[in-house]
């Protein structure tokens, strides 16, 4: 299977680490010109260097901006007027008892995890439709379906992305543009390591802490381990390619069998 994105420009938000960086690397290896995004210019430049090391022929653009704000999204669009592949990956998460989540925290999770993606889709989808080709993806989570008791605000935001994705897919109907959600399962990133240690004994070595976390807090996983970011990126790269032309309006799972369902 040859995934060829030559001649396409991709934007991956929140791509200075973890899943976002892995997706940016996958798209670059497939031949896309990739805009690497994060809030801090230094972090963006460091990510560009790592991606170029992993994909020496990569065509990369440093695109620092805080896309969780309208001003940041506008600034990004002014420097990157056309995008063929938009991967809405930026997001925040953390554990907090649901009765202690303030109004401001509810709003912050919606602003960063949902509204940032809505703004960018609104910005770039019309151009994709006019050109007759495009890919929009939202990186959601198993938490969209299996709401975790320790982070309901996060689950809420990912559930909202399912609705947003399906709605924009209808807007892009019969245009050559596909819009999909990717439901990622528990994934091994630096941020998740911190999260795991919020819930298990901090004195445990990482391998033991990971196993304890999966046993106690994610027992329904059929994989029995955290997913590696590259495993998420493989699916996203395929969905971005011409080979995925008939997949749209979908919630595609790469969750290690975490969601207990035979229908996506």
Which long-range CB contacts under 8 A does 192-195 form with residues at least 24 apart?
192/18, 192/226, 195/93, 195/94, 195/95
Which residue's entry shows tokens 């990717």? 182
Element (H, E) at 34: strand 33-36
- Strand ordering across the sheet containing 177-184: 59-62, 33-36, 9-12, 85-88, 134-141, 177-184, 251-254
Query: How far, in Å, CA of 154 to CA of 146, rounded?
Result: 11
Confidence tier at 90 by pLDDT (50, 70, 90): very high
pLDDT at position 225 is 86
Which residue's entry shows tokens 């592949």? 85
Q: Is 234 helix (H, G, I), strand (E, B) or coil?
A: helix
List, in order of start, the domains of the chain with CATH numbers.
9-187+227-254 (3.40.50.720)
Which residue's entry shows tokens 């506008």? 74
Residue 167: is its pLDDT beyond 90?
A: yes
Query: How far, in Å, CA of 242 to CA of 135, rounded?
Result: 9
The pair of three-digit structure tokens given for residue 230, joined into one six-digit string: 């590259």
Specify whether the CB–CB gap between 84 and 135 falls below 8 A. Answer: yes
Which residue's entry shows tokens 């963006």? 44
From residue 22, alpha-carbon distances to 5, 16, 138, 260 in Å are 16, 9, 15, 26
Give bridge partners of residue 252 from the DSSP assignment: 182
State the average pLDDT over residues 159-170.
Answer: 98
pLDDT at position 99 is 98
Residue 75: is its pLDDT beyond 80?
A: yes
Strand extents, DSSP E, 154-254: 177-184, 251-254
Give the DSSP letter of residue 201. -
State the average pLDDT over residues 101-111.
Answer: 98
Angle at 40 between CA 34 and CA 45, to 5 degrees: 45
Query: How far, in Å, CA of 259 to CA of 5, rounded?
Result: 31
Residue 189: is its pLDDT beyond 90?
A: no
pLDDT at position 218 is 86
| pLDDT tens figures, 214-256 | 999 889 999 988 999 999 999 999 999 999 999 999 999 999 9
Q: Which residues are catalytic?
A: 154
The pair of three-digit structure tokens given for residue 131, joined into one six-digit string: 């050109």
> Higher pLDDT residue, 206 or 24?
24
C-alpha 17: how far from its chain's center?
A: 11
From residue 45, alpha-carbon distances to 39, 41, 79, 131, 253 in Å are 11, 6, 16, 30, 31
């Amino acid at each position: 299977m040859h995934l060829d994105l030559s001649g396409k420009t991709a934007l991956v938000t929140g791509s200075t680490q973890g899943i976002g960086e892995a997706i940016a690397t996958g798209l670059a290896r497939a031949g896309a010109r990739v805009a690497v995004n994060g809030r801090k210019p230094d972090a963006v430049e460091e990510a560009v260097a790592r991606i170029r090391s992993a994909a020496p022929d990569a065509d990369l653009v440093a695109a620092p901006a805080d896309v969780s704000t309208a001003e940041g999204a506008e600034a990004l669009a002014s420097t990157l007027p056309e995008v063929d592949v938009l991967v809405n990956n930026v997001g925040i998460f953390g554990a907090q008892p649901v009765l202690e989540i303030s109004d401001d925290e509810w709003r912050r999770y919606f602003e960063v995890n949902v509204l940032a993606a809505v703004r960018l889709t609104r910005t770039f989808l019309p151009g994709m439709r006019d050109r007759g080709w495009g890919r929009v993806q939202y990186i959601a989570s198993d938490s969209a379906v299996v709401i975790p008791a320790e982070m309901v605000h996060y689950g809420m935001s990912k559930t909202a992305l399912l609705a947003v994705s399906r709605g924009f897919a209808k807007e892009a109907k019969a245009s050559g543009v596909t819009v999909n959600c990717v439901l990622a399962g528990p994934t091994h990133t630096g941020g998740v390591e911190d999260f795991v240690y919020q819930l298990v004994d901090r004195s445990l070595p990482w391998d033991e802490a990971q196993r304890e976390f999966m046993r106690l807090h994610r027992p329904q996983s059929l994989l029995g381990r955290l997913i590696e970011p590259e495993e998420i990126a493989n699916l996203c790269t395929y969905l971005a390619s011409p080979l995925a032309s008939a997949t749209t309006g979908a919630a595609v799972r790469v969750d290690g069998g975490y969601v207990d369902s035979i229908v996506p």
